[in-house]
A and B are shown apart, each in its own frame.
Chain A
Amino acid sequence: MTEPSGQEWDEGGPERLYVITGGRSGSSAPTELDLVTLIVATSGPRPGMQPEQADIVRICHRPLSVAEISAHLGLPVSVVTVLLSDLLAEQRVTARPPVPPAQLPDIALIEAVINGLQKL
C-alpha cells in the first residue's frame, strides 16, 4: 500500500507533529539531511531528553538512514529532520552524508553496486 490513504494519523494529526518539533517545519532545518544520510549516535540517551530524540539516539547505536528512523519512529521525514538537526547541533549524533550528486555517476561506485548485487 503506497498510495494516499487519508486515514492514518488522524488521531495524532499535524498538531502532534507541531508540538514535537516545537512548531518548526523541515524547511527551517539548517542541516541538509537526505533520506539516506546515515545517522549514528555518539552516546546513549540522556535523562530529560525529549522522548522522540531519545528514541533516535537509542535506535542509532548503529548507522541508520533518516528514512529508516522515520519508519521506525512512525514520524514523517520532515519531522525527523528537525529532531536530527537539534541532535546534530548538540553532537548527540553524527551524520554520514550520502555520495554527493556531483560525484554521480561514478564508475567505481556503479561497479561496486554491480558486484554487491551479484552476490544477492
Chain B
Amino acid sequence: MDFKSSERATGQQLAGPRSEDVLPETAAAAVKVVIVGGFGVGKTTLVGSVSEIRPLTTEETMTQAGVGVDDTAGVAGKSTTTVAMDFGRISINEKLVLYLFGTPGQERFWFLWRGLFEGALGAVVLVDTRRLEVSFDVLGRLEERGVPFVVAVNTFPDAPNYPLEELRGALDLPASVPIVECDARSRPSSRDVLMTLMRHLHSLAAPTEAP
C-alpha cells in the first residue's frame, strides 16, 4: 500500500520515520513475535493496539508459480502478485526492541520473508470462531517448525461465544498450549495476549519451575 507513495518525484525527500518514532542510539538488538491468522481476523488491529509506531507494511512480490489456485481468482494472466505484511514495534527497554509481524496463515506466504520464523521468540495464532477451520493448518505448521505459540480468540461481537475448553477441543490443542480470549482493539487485552505468550515461553525455558 505504500508503494505508490514511494514513487516520488526526483529530489523529493523521503519522509522516513517520524522524529518521535526513532529508536534510541542504544538499541542494541531486536526480537520478534509473529501474529498468524486468517484474513480479517484482526492481526493488524492487534499489532496496532500495542505498537508504539503506526503499523507499517512491507510487501513482497510473488510469482505466479508460487501462488495457490485458491488465491488467483481475479488475477488471471498476471505474472506476479503482491503480498503484504503489517508490523509494529515495542521498545522493551533502552537496548531491546520487540517487533510484531502479522502474517497470513498460509504457509506459502511465509517463505516470501526469509527468516520470518527463524529466531522468532514465538507466535500468536489469532482465531476467529466464525472461521475456525482456517486455523487448523496454521497450528500444524507451527508445531512442525517447532515454533512455540499461544492461541488468542479475537472476540468479535457477532461471533458465537464458545467456552475456551470447547475451542481447545475443536482445535485439537494440547493442554500445554495456552488459549485466551482477547479484544484485538484493546491495548491492555492485546498486551495480555503477548504476556500469555511470554509466560508460556518462560515455562518452556524453565520446565522444572512450577508455573
Contact = CB atoms under 8 A, between A and B. Distances in A.
A92 B181 CA distance: 46
A105 B205 contact: yes
A98 B30 contact: yes
Interface string B22-38: 11110111111000000
Contact of B103 (A2, A36, A114, A116): A2
Contacts of B56: 67-68, 71-72
A67 to B, nearest CB: 5
B194 A68 contact: no
Contact of A120 (B10, B28, B75, B90): B90
B111 to A, nearest CB: 11
A38 B97 contact: yes
A74 B23 contact: no
B176 interface: no
Interface string B175-192: 000000000000100010
Residue from the set A4, A72, A96, A109 with the largest chain B CB neighbour count within 10 Å? A4
B136 interface: no
B6 A75 contact: yes
Interface string B1-23: 11111110010001111000011
A35 B115 contact: yes
A112 interface: yes
A65 B97 contact: yes
Contact of B84 (A5, A68, A120): A5
A2 B83 CA distance: 7
B102 to A, nearest CB: 6
B37 to A, nearest CB: 9
Interface residues of A, number: 61
B166 interface: no
Contacts of B114: 26, 78
B177 to A, nearest CB: 15
Given A2-B85, A35-B99, A73-B14, A9 B121 contact: no
B121 A113 contact: yes
Given A5-B81, A35-B113, 15 more contacts: A2-B57, A2-B84, A2-B104, A4-B62, A9-B3, A13-B80, A14-B80, A38-B23, A38-B27, A38-B28, A70-B58, A74-B6, A98-B29, A98-B119, A116-B93
22 contacts: A1-B44, A1-B84, A3-B39, A4-B81, A8-B59, A9-B59, A9-B61, A35-B32, A35-B99, A36-B31, A64-B22, A67-B99, A72-B15, A72-B16, A105-B202, A110-B205, A112-B96, A113-B92, A114-B199, A115-B92, A117-B195, A120-B191
Interface of B: 1-7, 10, 14-17, 22-25, 27-32, 39, 43-44, 50, 56-62, 67, 71, 74-75, 78, 80-87, 89-93, 96-99, 101-104, 109, 113-116, 118-119, 121-122, 148, 187, 191, 194-195, 198-199, 201-202, 204-206
Interface of A: 1-9, 11-14, 17, 26, 34-38, 40, 51, 55, 58-59, 62-65, 67-68, 70-78, 96-101, 104-107, 109-118, 120
